[in-house]
Structure 1
Amino acid sequence: MRTQVGIIGAGPAGLFLSHLLKAQGIESVILEARSRPYVEGRVRAGVLEPGTIETLERLGLDARMRREGLVDEGLDMRFRGRTIHLDLPGLTGRSVMIYGQQEVVKDLIAARVEAGDPLVFEAAVTRIEGIETDRPRIHYTEGGPEGGTDKVLECDFVAGCDGYHGAGRAAMPADVLQVFEQAYDFAWLGVLARARPMADMTYTNSDRGFALCSRRSMQVSRLYLQVPADTDPSSWSDDRFWDELHARMFDEGRTEIEEGEIFQRDLAKLRAFVAAPMQHGRLFLAGDAVHIVPPAGAKGLNMAVADVRVLSRALTGFYRSGSHAELDAYSTVCVERAWRVVRFSSTLTGLLHRFDHHTPMQRNLQLAELEYIAGSHHAQASIAEQYVLLNHLPDYP
């Protein structure tokens, strides 16, 4: 096959990029190693920042999100039995939307398939060659690992949107790429429960550890507990989970958090990761391939969308005028933003979690910071602004 932009990965970064390019008349082919049911079934956080919401709207793909998504105007942080309430519209003039990442992916896939635009599932990329030429080639096996057919996609540019373990970053020369990474020694035990959620996204820092109450709909709660990184989710009974959540949320009377059937459990290990540069030759990387943040702050999907908005405009400039200026600046623009987002998510993680290595001195400093935020409008405005607008790109389509 031959196309203008070869996209590896049918996650949010690759799918959004394909739609943004199509809106500018630029052809692309998406190669995805997994099956369509697998990709559409991957459950991820679903807090959409204004920039992501507006991108879906400009693409004309926001109808189901508008019907089924939940506007979220508040963010609460609890400690010592107290609550810091952040009024997002009051502090920033904007709000966020609760709409699962898998639902966004379903919408983007459905629109691409309906339009008949190339999206090849079960197409595992085996190698990328020629990224320093103007005709890079993506080698892949279509049809699964057994009995698959070896094929080649030739393109002008390669967009590696295939995640942390993908072929995109692996194709970067080792002497070019710098990797920065921090792993945490705890994880989030997450559950989905058929129970009415709390009114606002609520984080808590208790002596027992971190917890988070969020929502997927008005009937389904998404709930998390900080646990050791080697935890087996099945080792937590329903009763044990509810008891611990009530305790960490300071819900002593068990009247605030509604319990219900827990129908899914998973474990999310926490790490911060940045790889730079995000480009070399005709290879450009986006999304989880080059940055992963701790889940506090819900930034992953929004970072990916911001990346490809920058990349799509750079590619549009090239195809319209032959200019390389924005392509050459892509990594610089995106890496600077990525570090700001990683800083926010890492700071929030450090503020809200219990760390085994903390001394009593460090624990009291952590609580003192929360006390300061509770009494400072400016501190609350800063957190709200970063929560809502860190990936805001007003000058990009």
Structure 2
Amino acid sequence: MIIQLKKIKFHPRLFFSLSFLVIALSLSFYGLGEIKRLKSEVSSLRGVGKQLELNREELQSLKNQDQYKINQKLNKEIDDINTTYKRAAISFESLDDLSLTTKKTDDMKKDFAAILNFLSERNYASAAAKIAFLDSEIKKEKDRITSSFSSSIIDNANIVSSVSPPGAGYQRQQVGVLESSFVVDVVAADLSSTRIIVDTASTSDCRDNCPVLSLSDYISRNGAWAGVNGSYFCPASYPSCAGRANSFDTLLMNKNKVYFNSENNVYSNVPAAIFLPGSIRFVGRSLEWGRDTGVDGVLANQPLLLSGGNVVFGGDGDPKKGSRGTRSFVGSKGGTAYIGVVHNVTVAEMAHVLAALGLENALNLDSGGSTALWAGGYKAGPGRNIPNAILFVGK
């Protein structure tokens, strides 16, 4: 039996209406799902926000707890300790230098003992105030010594006022430059008859508790006729030099052709003086020099003061170089070598003094309590014992 269905005829408008209804219903169900999802996310975000607020409140609570406050107090105390002890160490080093030039330091040593007492009691404010007072007393005594020295020089009718260094031997003279007058002790040597050597107390590299000698000891054991202290080093009496007492870290070759601190100066920018038979060569950086043992000696230090007759150092912001004191140098002009000290001068001022004297090249050496110059006797110093020295010996 065959059943025949009648053909249904759809009107186009009805078809589109039904389609729209189906789409609308689908979107409605999708929209309801999205709304539920968004509500869930909003609820989650609110939960996160509440947790963050709780965390913030817990952090604030921790900050208000005693342990947090204790840690903050400890941090401040550590800062006070570091700052005050550093200032105290610097003051002690200045006092140590001063004690090598005057005996009038007993009261200052008592002041320093008071500083140590304040520090032991954790009274950092009183320690800082006492350090400031001690620094001012040290400066006053240095100024008094300088004034006394200048007065004795003025009263000395034998002093030469000249901008020409001696042709040979020792001379003390006044040099006018930079609207001031500076006293210079200088020794000149003709390099055709004099050889320049560098002697060291140690026989090889030394990092701590290094041997030192007086300048007069270096003079006598080499038969030298003149000499001056050498490179910067770390005095054993300085608290900051613990673990490297009396050591120096710049390049040096001594009279025995032994190079010191060679490995750590391969790329060094520290200037150096190379003492050759008949001349001195100055280089702006130690790295420019190899390890030739055919020369008489090598000594690096800083800064280079003169090069080719021109002043090449005008200051670098270092307060030690910018303070006035007695400072040592080694220099040259043609076939003549010069060693000496300039009194009551900054490093930059010394460069101008030596330029006024007509030197072509010059290198700054160690200063302060290490300053020493010998020419038939001490002309400056003796100061503390030193690890190396520059010496004039006859050929």
Q: TM-score, length-normalised on structure 1?
A: 0.23
Higher RCO structure, 1 or 2 (CA under 8 Å, sep 6+): 1
From the CA coordinates, give the structure whose radius of gyration is larger. Answer: 2
From the two aligned structures, give the one with the greater strand fraction: 1
Q: TM-score, length-normalised on structure 2?
A: 0.23
